[in-house]
Amino acid sequence: MKKNFTKLLSIIALGFAIVSCSNPSKMAKEAILIGIDSNPKVLEVVADEITATYSITFPEGYFHPKAILEVVPVLVYEGGEQAAPTFKLQGEKVADNFTVMPAAGGKASNTVKFAYVPGMEKSRLELRISVWNNLKKLEYPAPFKVADGANITYKLVHKTGLTALATDNYKKIVSEKKETQILYNINSSDVRTKELTKQEVKDFEKFLASVKADGKREVSKAQIVAYASPDGPEALNSKLSDERSQSAKNAFDQITKNNPVTGPVDVTTVAEDWQGFQELVAGSTIQDKELILRVLSMYSDPMVREREIKNMSKVFKTLSDKILPELRRARFIANVDYTNFSEAELVELSKTNIEIMDLEALLYAATLVTDLDLKVKIYTKAGEKFKCNRAYNNLTATYLDNGKTEDAKAALAKVTNKTTSFYYNNAGLIALLDKDYKLAGEMFAKSDLKVSKQNSAIIDILNGRYNDAVAKIAGTGDPNEGLAYILTNQLDKALAAITHDCSHAAYMRAIIYARKGNFIEVAKQLTKVYESDALKARSEKDIEFAKFRE
């Protein structure tokens, strides 16, 4: 009996639904019968645009065959409202080109977009529906609210980006080298007096004296290398080079008697100087030098080399006269370290005697000072005096880091080489500040600098490519790393990445805890957020904290 009664009720309800909209005007009165849904239910701003898909479900018998339904999606926000294009549906007997909804019922969906304007962070999406009955338009009793909005979390992105400073080549220790040599007679290790009194040896002595008198220079190491020419038996040459090393050390001590070397003195030998032989032959005008060089390249065994060369009797005579005597020698090499200006000296010079500073000293000094005016003065001097692109690039970066966009543009305009990674990066930052995101992205893409890759993540975030942003800045400590994790809902990683104690960082932590449902921590973080009036005002409307405010 109960089963029959339930069946009867179902038939009555169905009959009611079929006849309830027996004319179009009744559709408005029976608005409660339709179902409304939206995806998403919480609107989100992505790349300055809000996108939502709403759907309307009509029960069987609801949609009159001669009705035309107009749906106007409207985003209502503080300060105004914005309507999307009207979506129209028609009954089966309407001769028009709108979406047909049969009397049997069904679902119709439509996607709408709204251009973001400030105020939409506190908004609602509603559907305003009306139905036409012939020439009569009937409004539905009330709009249908389908979604709340709008989430603007991505707008927490740091858009200033990271500047790129071109590196200087300043050397705190400048190495230089001075060399001389003495020659020996064939098969002899005796040092001849004339070898110690020749001009190049005297010049070597004068050089050592100048180093001794200069408080900024010192001989860090000296080298004595004694050689034997590659002609003759290898055992004899080995013994001869050892003997020459001993006599050469004595000669070196005599030469440096008045200017002793404080650093270590290394003594080495080369029994058969094939490398020196090859270098002298290659630089000579000997007629058959190519043939000699070919022999050297074909044979690595010293005995075979010597035999083949001696077989060229005419050539060997020339070698004996012009090449081999130059290889019976000992080289004296002084390695000198010059201690350049200290950091303190560079800073002082930049203030008091900037004209004596060379380019690399200027570029390095600029990195040592914190005073903006002095930093600008140094980079400007380097740019003007040396026509240096690195200086103007760094001047651009300095202005950008201090919020002086117009000055940065003027400095960048002085860069003549506009194809360096530093130029591309800093030009991209200027385009970013000008909201020319397309140009900014192009500039960053042309640079191979790590910071440029990180800066391009800003463009990704602004354009809604959140996963791409994460891929570029994960693990870098970039200012936007935590935000990128939030936008991809990787909340634990976001929390670990946000390490600063500023109001901005606290705001992002508050969002994380709000999404986790930890409202005690939300309250703690908002205490820090409220130190910033702007962030406090934002948080009071932010839909991220809607449940916290309930």
Measure the CA dihedral 365/367/373/376, to 10°. 80
Query: What separation, in Å, do the N-terminal and C-terminal C-alpha atoms of the chain show?
Result: 49
Of the candidates 365, 350, 352, 356, the residue with the CA atom closest to the CA atom of residue 168: 365
Confidence band for 16, pLDDT divided at 50, 70 and 90? very low
Q: Tell me which of 254 and 16 has the higher pLDDT.
A: 254
Q: Tell me which of 360 and 262 has the higher pLDDT.
A: 360
Confidence band for 313, pLDDT divided at 50, 70 and 90? low
Domains of the chain (ranges; CATH) run 2-151 (2.60.40), 173-339 (3.30.1330.60)
Please compute the mean of the pLDDT values over residues 388-414 and round it to a whole number: 98
> What's the pLDDT tens digit per position in 358-367?
999 999 999 9
What the block records as the tokens of 437 is: 């995101």
> What's the pLDDT tens digit per position in 233-242?
889 999 999 9
> What's the pLDDT tens digit per position in 426-436?
999 999 999 99
- Torsion-angle region of residue 84: left (phi > 0), alpha (psi -120 to 50) or beta? beta
- Residue 7: its pLDDT value, please? 42
Confidence band for 296, pLDDT divided at 50, 70 and 90? confident
Of 21-30, 396-405, 519-528, 541-550, minimum mean pLDDT range: 21-30
- Residue 360: its pLDDT value, please? 98
Q: Is the C-alpha dihedral spanning 292, 294, 299, 301 positive or negative?
A: positive
Of the candidates 511, 503, 478, 522, the residue with the CA atom closest to the CA atom of residue 160: 478
- Say what the pTM is: 0.78
> What's the pLDDT tens digit per position in 147-179?
998 999 999 999 999 999 999 999 999 999 999
Q: Is the peptide bond before 166 cis (omega within 30 degrees of 0)?
A: no
- Residue 58: its pLDDT value, please? 97
> What's the pLDDT tens digit per position in 176-228?
999 999 999 999 999 999 999 999 999 999 999 999 999 899 999 999 999 99
Q: Is the pLDDT of residue 111 over 50?
A: yes
Confidence band for 133, pLDDT divided at 50, 70 and 90? confident
- Residue 22: its pLDDT value, please? 62
Of 45-49, 226-230, 301-305, 375-379, minimum mean pLDDT range: 301-305
Confidence band for 2, pLDDT divided at 50, 70 and 90? very low
Three-class DSSP category at 386:
helix
Q: What is the CA radius of gyration of the chain?
A: 43
Of the candidates 550, 491, 549, 503, the residue with the CA atom closest to the CA atom of residue 530: 503
> What's the pLDDT tens digit per position in 52-109?
999 999 999 999 999 999 999 999 999 899 999 999 999 999 999 999 999 999 999 9
- Residue 11: its pLDDT value, please? 39
Q: Is the pLDDT of residue 5 over 70?
A: no
Three-class DSSP category at 220:
strand
Rounded distance between C-alpha atoms, residue 241 and residue 463, angstroms:
73
